[in-house]
Structure formats: structure tokens, C-alpha cells
């Protein structure tokens, strides 16, 4: 895959500070961390979105994220953490190579809250129906 910064990292063409490697994933320190200890778990293979990642790989991702989150929170002395994956540019994904963010948290004020508001209960059943139709 040309022009992919994370493929370059996997292949060692761009340096990275790694905390874990296995046959499917590399976990490394984020170069522009949201918080102290921010890690990325990236797939060795190039998959743009979660929808592209085979289930057998995804099934290993959350147990690994759990292990890394425990190590990261202990390592930096944070009592909490966020796990998240951006999928598509509209979600804020900047690097189109699958990665899961492990973000140790010491305070809810460290990052802006996503917010949200009360659902329109007259519309919610129709939204649910539109989702069910696509399952």
C-alpha cells in the first residue's frame, strides 16, 4: 500500500515507539497524544475501516485493547480510559488504516465532551426500524 503512514510504520520505514507487537497488531505511542500515555493499536494489514477488518482479527482487538488499557492506566497513573475507533473522514478519521485509540484519562475535563441532547421520542422508533432493516 503506497501513501499510508501506518503501513510505513508497520514496515519500519517510519520510526515508532512500540509497546507491543504480535502477528496481527502493533501498539505504539501516538505522536500527537490526546492525553499522557495515548496509544494506538494498529493492524499489520491495511484496512481502511472497521467494516473492512475480518472478524477473526477484530475478535482479537478488544482483548488486546483491554490488556493495553490496563497497562497504560497503571503505567501513567490514570484511573480511567477511553477506547475508540474513528471510521471515515466524517468521524474524524485522519489516517485511513484501522487503528484503535487507547486514551488514559485523569479527568473528564481533559478532552471536550461529545455532548448530545435528549432524543425525539416520536422519531426514535423509526430510526431504530431503519437500523433493524439493515441488520
The reply to whether 59 sits near ligand 5GP by the rule CB under 6 A is: no
Ranges of H-type helices in the chain: 5-10, 55-76, 124-132
Pick from Zn ion, ligand 5GP, none: which does 32 bind, CB < 5 to 8 A by kind? Answer: ligand 5GP
**Which strands, in side-by-side order, build the sheet including 18-21?**
18-21, 25-29, 39-43, 99-105, 80-84
The reply to whether 89 sits near ligand 5GP by the rule CB under 6 A is: no
Contacts for 116 with CB less than 8 Å, ≥ 6 apart: none
Residues annotated as part of the active site: 99
Instruction: Please choose, out of 26-34, 46-54, 68-76, 126-134, the segment that lies near ligand 5GP by the rule CB under 6 A.
Output: 26-34
- Smallest gap, in angstroms, from Cβ of residue 113 to ligand 5GP? 18
**Whole-Å CA distances, 100 to 39, 120, 126:** 8, 31, 31
Which residue in the set 3, 23, 90, 94 belongs to the binding site for ligand 5GP (CB under 6 A)? 94
Query: Which residue, 94 or 133, is less far from ligand 5GP as judged by CB?
Result: 94
- Smallest gap, in angstroms, from Cβ of residue 103 to ligand 5GP? 9
With the C-alpha atoms ordered 131, 96, 92, 35, is the resulting torsion angle positive or negative? positive
Binding stretches for ligand 5GP (CB under 6 A): 5, 14, 16, 28-32, 40, 86, 92-95
Amino acid at each position: 500500500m503506497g501513501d499510508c503512514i501506518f503501513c510505513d510504520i508497520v514496515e519500519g520505514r517510519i520510526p515508532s515507539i512500540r509497546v507491543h507487537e504480535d502477528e496481527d497488531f502493533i501498539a505504539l505511542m501516538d505522536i500527537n497524544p490526546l492525553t499522557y500515555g495515548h496509544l494506538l493499536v494498529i493492524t499489520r494489514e491495511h484496512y481502511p475501516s472497521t467494516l473492512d477488518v475480518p472478524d477473526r482479527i477484530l475478535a482479537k482487538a478488544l482483548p488486546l485493547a483491554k490488556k493495553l488499557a490496563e497497562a497504560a492506566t497503571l503505567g501513567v497513573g490514570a484511573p480511567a480510559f477511553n477506547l475508540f475507533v474513528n471510521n471515515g473522514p466524517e468521524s474524524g478519521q485522519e489516517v485511513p488504516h484501522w487503528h484503535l485509540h487507547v486514551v488514559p484519562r485523569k479527568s473528564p475535563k481533559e478532552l471536550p465532551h461529545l455532548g448530545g441532547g435528549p432524543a425525539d421520542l416520536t422519531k426514535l422508533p423509526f430510526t431504530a426500524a431503519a437500523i433493524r432493516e439493515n441488520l
